Chains A and B, each alone.
Chain A
Amino acid sequence: MRLFKKSAPEANRLEATIGSGDSGQALEAKSLSIFYGEFEAVKRLSIGFERKKVTALIGPSGCGKSTALRAFNRMNELIRGVRTEGEVSFRGVNVYDPDVDAVQVRRWIGMVFQKPNPFSKSIYENIAWGARINGYQGGFDELVENSLKQVALWDEVKDKLKESAYALSGGQQQRLCIARAVALKPEILLMDEPTSALDPISTAKIESLLDDLKKRYTIIIVTHNMQQAGRVSDKTGFMLLGELVEYSDTKELFFNPKDPRTENYISGRFG
């Protein structure tokens, strides 16, 4: 199956095959810099994300963690005046290669946003829509059921699949958004502060989902809640003023930080 568009004569290099892939990184950024006009929001970020692990990016507001996350599936291009330099390597392809089709990149690198943003459609259609536009062949009923089961929402909504998604509570809407993303069987799931608009109970539900979801997907989660990063992630990166200050196993970063700035942040002295 083709992951990337084939238009240029030597576009074979942009093809990758579906499969377990090599055991290396699922996604890797190499000297990634992102500018809003003149302002450099992310400064030469180099970081690799391990397959089927949860990696958290933490840091105070404005440290560039969300901007970096949105660069991984080229979402920043939808904002005027954003310029990206450097490389993001996915499946051996630099997604910023001029011949790469951003639509195809986003199809394999899904995203969940800060606020739940279901479509103004039925619960069923919220999930079926993405599959349909991406040419899914097979039973949509089955796909909807499986996707909702993966986010533990099936039992709550199975009798009202035809109702509007806006009839759900905020926490349910966010789980629907996750279901919608996993219905595409993405390789990577980017989560941009997915619980910051939710109450503690809904937050706990989503956090407990991540343990299940990481069996199938590589998850990168941005959060400014350090406790959350500690609870859900295997690895954590700490960003400050656009730079990656420290990146290591979550336990290591929280209990034995190498950089004094990391220590100051996690001990609550700023941010």
Chain B
Amino acid sequence: MKPVQTARYPEEARGALSFGKRFRPHEAVILALLFFCAAVSILTTLGIIVVLGAESSALFKEVSLWEFVSGTSWQPTIGEFGILPLVNATLMTSLAAMLVALPLGLGVAIYLAEYASERVRETLKPILEVLAGVPTVVHGYFALTVVTPALRGLFGQESIEVYNTLSAGLVMGILILPLISSMCEDALSAVPRSLREAAYAMGATKLETSVTIIVPAAFSGIAAAFILGLSRAVGETMIVALAAGAGPNLTLNPLKAAETMTGHIVRISGGDISYDSMDYRSLFAIALVLFLATLALNMVSRSIVKKYREVYE
């Protein structure tokens, strides 16, 4: 039996085809709407840059740029605006965080990508992602009430201050760990199967294959993960505000309290400072430095991925 089709297209009913241009107003509306969505984030970023720039330039009328970047004392109340103590503390906590996060994260990634069975991977990955979802204030509290007492028990009460950059840094490492391991795992999994097969076919063990073939082949992704993690560490606020210390302090000793750039902004902007004062403007200058640092790190990370990406046939 032949299928009978009674419904017809409008052209069939009319008996003619027309190729003239149609007017479709909804297309233009949608286009404008979508463009607006994209523009909002860009405009917001631009707005932030403008505000940061304007307020900091007001500060730099009073304080020379050289004094700002090279001064070793940050005491707004007596007019000393040397950012080095804050930058130094940020670098110390970030370094400690990366020393924890990179080896652990890479280890987790190698385990997940090369060693773990399908089932283990499918259980472990979501758990890691949950770890990434823990609010950072919890991490900060954890650093202050668990890690610091543990460190003090380990090294002696006198040698470690209640607030210290080491404990904040270590916990920040745990915070960044999921980011690093997830990005590294993606990079390792993106290495084509054929490279693993080539290595195994030459009598390589799993360890030799993972460490000397797969990790170097995924270098660009791992480097990008490292730098993004560093950028996250530099900008991280809650943990250092709670556990690193309240008060700028230029010290290389991680067992002493020191205030990071982010920590300082939190403490000062939470207190009662008057608008239009030097203290107030100095916060914008610190924020500008933070913004430039993370922007630079993100750009470096992107360029590494671009430059070193292996082109696999």
Q: Which A residues form the contact surface with B (CB < 8 A)?
A: 73, 75, 78, 80, 103-104, 106-108, 110-111, 113, 115-121, 129-130, 133-134, 166, 170, 173, 177, 180-181, 184, 197
Contacts and interface: CB of A to CB of B under 8 A. Distances in A.
A130 B205 CA distance: 11
Nearest to B208: A133
Among A106, A120, A177, the most chain B Cβ lie within 10 Å of the Cβ of: A120
Interface of B: 118, 192, 194-205, 208, 212-213, 216-217, 310-311, 313
Contact of A107 (B203, B310, B313): B203
Nearest to B117: A80
Q: Is the interface of B mostly helix, strand, loop or mixed?
A: helix
B195 A115 contact: no
Given A113-B194, A119-B213, A173-B313, A103 B205 contact: yes
B198 A119 contact: yes
B202 A180 contact: yes
A110 B202 contact: yes
Given A80-B118, A184-B203, 19 more contacts: A78-B200, A103-B203, A103-B204, A106-B203, A107-B203, A111-B197, A117-B197, A119-B195, A119-B198, A119-B199, A120-B195, A129-B213, A130-B204, A133-B205, A133-B208, A134-B203, A181-B202, A184-B202, A197-B313
Contacts of B198: 113, 117-119, 177, 180
5 contacts: A106-B200, A113-B201, A117-B198, A119-B217, A129-B213
B201 A106 contact: yes
A133 B204 contact: yes
Nearest to B204: A133
Contacts of B194: 113, 115, 117
4 closest A-B pairs by beta carbon, nearest first, are A107-B203, A117-B194, A111-B201, A130-B202
Contact of B313 (A75, A110, A121, A170): A170
Contacts of A106: 200-203
Contacts of A181: 201-202
B313 A115 contact: yes
Contacts of B208: 133
Nearest to A183: B202
Contacts of B216: 120-121
Nearest to A134: B203
B217 to A, nearest CB: 4
